[in-house]
Amino acid sequence: MTESPPSPTPLAPFIIRNFIIPLFIFTDKSLLNLTRKFKPLEILRHIFLTAFLFVLKIIPSALNHNSDSNSNSNSNSESESDSDSGGYRWVPFLKGGGKGSDAGGDGSTCIARALSQLLAIVNEIPVSSRKYEIVRSYAEKLIDENLEEGFEPLRRVNATVLAGAFSRALRQLELAAAAAAEDDEGNSGEDVGKNGGGCFGLDRVVKAVGRFGDAAWTRFKKRKTRLGGSAEKLAAELLWLGEKLAACGSADEAVRQWASASKLASMSLSAKPRLQGSLVKLSVFLFKQAATIGGEDDEDDTMEELRKIKMKMLMSWLPFLVRSSIGTDAPVLTLNEKTELENVLGELIGSLKHEEEQENVLSLWLHHFTHCPYSDWPNLHLYYARWCTTSRKLLVLQGK
């Protein structure tokens, strides 16, 4: 008995979700911006929206009809399982790759795969779930027990898995911050559209199509952001992962990744105060860790690499510290913590060694510090004056 060939239709929903809908949203936003200047284009946008939603409504019916004729009991049980689990599908953590590899583990040992799975679940489920604290406590216990053994391979397991989990959460935080920025722009655009009035009596059509479009966009965003959750949750998890990496003696890995997140640092300048507060705490912790990495026993190549990391971190995140919200009613940092970080930043700047690098960092700080009317922190005037004095002395010595 010959087996029937697998149905090709599962590819269609994937294309719709990941290509067609994002393309539609991008096109709609572009048209929305143009309609503010050219009113006749509003009709074109309405036609585009109506046609797309009509097609979107027809396609699932056709797909369901085809899938019903080719379905089997395995696919039915799988879809029921996905529905019961809220859309989270279980993928086994395979040796040397698979989901465990994506979550940060090398998958070479059972204990590495177990820790990888726990951290992946912590990343996936929302913090409001009653299972969140249970799974996170499991992961924390496993990490601590690995360290308590005092066995180097177990410490490396912790470091490898945690570094991968930190990288994954950092990527998702960048996506979440970008999505939040798009939402803010979209909301402002909707307000303009509502105040601008209708064209050719299409107000009702605009509202009806807008409601359907918002519903479709909301469903799409829920699927897109299901993994990882909110930006505030991800920032808090990054702080926790960074603390665990530091406990394993691998804080340099978290510092290296944070220093390279220049895109996130740029987006964070316009983030909401709650998210900025979480990112301030994370940045302060990692700046402190950056000041501790490296020593006199390290090789010259290692010291040079660490110096570049510190330079990159200062250039990326110092403007954010100046312009971020550190709270008013509920301050993010205490006065002692602010003073301590100013000393840490001065130490990091002093460790750059090269006069031009210190100049770049301090001139960047001075620009943002003087142009930000609501912030007086961090105040690095002492280190700026010290750099000026040192530069003056070097110039005098060169002239003799």
- Tokens 């009613």 appear where? 329
pTM of the model: 0.69
Q: What pLDDT does 394 receive? A: 86
**Whole-number Å distance between alpha carbons of 119 and 239:** 14
Residue 50 binned pLDDT confidence (cut-offs 50, 70, 90): confident
For residue 108, CA distances in Å to 92, 116, 153, 167 come to 14, 11, 12, 19
The string of pLDDT tens digits covering residues 133-144 is: 999 999 999 999
| Cβ count within 10 A of residue 261 | 20
**Whole-number Å distance between alpha carbons of 181 and 189:** 13
**Whole-number Å distance between alpha carbons of 181 and 188:** 11
8 has pLDDT over 50: no
Residue 181 binned pLDDT confidence (cut-offs 50, 70, 90): confident
252 Cβ contact list (under 8 Å, min separation 6): 289, 293, 306, 309
**Whole-number Å distance between alpha carbons of 123 and 107:** 18
The string of pLDDT tens digits covering residues 205-230 is: 444 445 545 544 444 444 444 445 68
Got the DSSP string for 43-82? HHHHHHHHHHHHHHHHHHHHHHHHHHHH--HHHHHHHHHH
The string of pLDDT tens digits covering residues 9-32 is: 456 666 666 667 667 676 766 666
Positive or negative: CA dihedral 28, 32, 33, 39: positive
For residue 278, CA distances in Å to 3, 234, 375 come to 55, 9, 17
Q: What pLDDT does 336 receive? A: 94
Nearest in space to 59 (alpha carbons), one of 11, 6, 27, 5: 11
For residue 307, CA distances in Å to 74, 228, 286 come to 56, 32, 15
329 has pLDDT over 70: no
Asked, as a colleague might, if the bond just before 153 is cis with ω within 30 of 0, I would say: no
Residue 56 binned pLDDT confidence (cut-offs 50, 70, 90): low
Q: What torsion do the CA atoms of 132, 138, 140, 146 make, to the nearest 10 degrees?
A: -160
Instruction: Show contacts of 334-338: CB within 8 Å, 24+ apart.
Output: 337/284, 338/377, 338/378
C-alpha distance across the termini of the chain, in Å: 96
